[in-house]
Amino acid sequence: MTATELPAVDGVPATFESLDPRTGDVVGTHPVHDRAAVEAAVARARPAAEWWDGLGFAGRRKLLGEWRVVLARKIDDLAPLVVEETGKPLDDARLELVLAVDHLAWAARHAEKVLGRRRVPPGLLMRTQAASLAYRPVGVVGVIGPWNYPVFTPMGSIAYALAAGNAVVFKPSELTPGVGVALADSLAEIVDGRPVLQVVTGFGETGAALCRAGVGKIAFTGSTATAKRVMAACAESLTPVLVECGGKDALVVDVDADLDAAADAPSGAG
């Protein structure tokens, strides 16, 4: 699976093409967002995050519920795009979208119970005082997603970040950018175009720029090798990072395979 980069020409930013791995046909063309573009997206997200946080749990639950309905209605439109960019069977793509809708429903329904203010014991030294605990949103969360489950996996981070009151800047895999754009467009219908969920597209440099753009947290899913680079970039500014690394899948070796190559493949797969 590959994505083809097209260089900048006469001041027009570079773009790249996502390809159908089954045929090599071009699925879509997307910009390669550089550091300035990523930082601009994060800057746009900050006032959107304040507006979104101000809605409170109930307000966000209502709008996330509306987004869930939109996604459910668009399954038949989105599933073919998932198929084109990943090569997976249509039924698998449809199941992934259903599971993503379920992610969103759970996050919206349980956010206040998990994160809302609650009273806690003040402790022996402060026994004459009252104490409570609440979790505040971090502002803008950066999400970097994988290609193999381009909706279900990143939605696990996107939905929970949104339900908690954050805005999100999402960098999908360069192999599945169209899926990420479609997700953001579907939410824009619900929030009157406010940049609560934005997508930046490109390659590793775009992801690195997101790590360094001053977001409140990064959530990454992908290979172990890339996770190490993400953690190193986030460490420069002590940006909290959550990583889900690959490398645990089963390996099937056919009887006519090159056994030496098969033995080396897992170590390079991350």
List the chain pLDDT tens, one digit each, 270 residues. Answer: 566 666 655 555 699 999 999 999 999 999 999 999 999 999 999 999 999 999 999 999 999 999 999 999 999 999 999 999 999 999 999 999 999 999 899 999 999 999 999 998 988 888 889 989 989 999 999 999 999 999 999 999 999 999 999 999 999 999 999 999 999 999 998 999 899 999 999 999 999 999 999 999 999 999 899 999 999 999 999 999 999 987 666 778 888 889 888 887 765 544
What's the pTM value of the predicted model, to 2 decimals? Answer: 0.87
Q: Where are the beta strands (DSSP E) in the chain?
A: 3-6, 15-19, 26-31, 118-120, 131-133, 140-144, 167-171, 197-199, 217-222, 241-245
Measured distance CA(215)–CA(143) in Å, rounded: 10
Predicted pLDDT of residue 93: 96
Which amino acid, one-letter code, is at 86?
T
Domains present along the chain, CATH in parentheses? 34-116+135-269 (3.40.605.10)
Measured distance CA(5)–CA(143) in Å, rounded: 22
Measured distance CA(64)–CA(54) in Å, rounded: 15
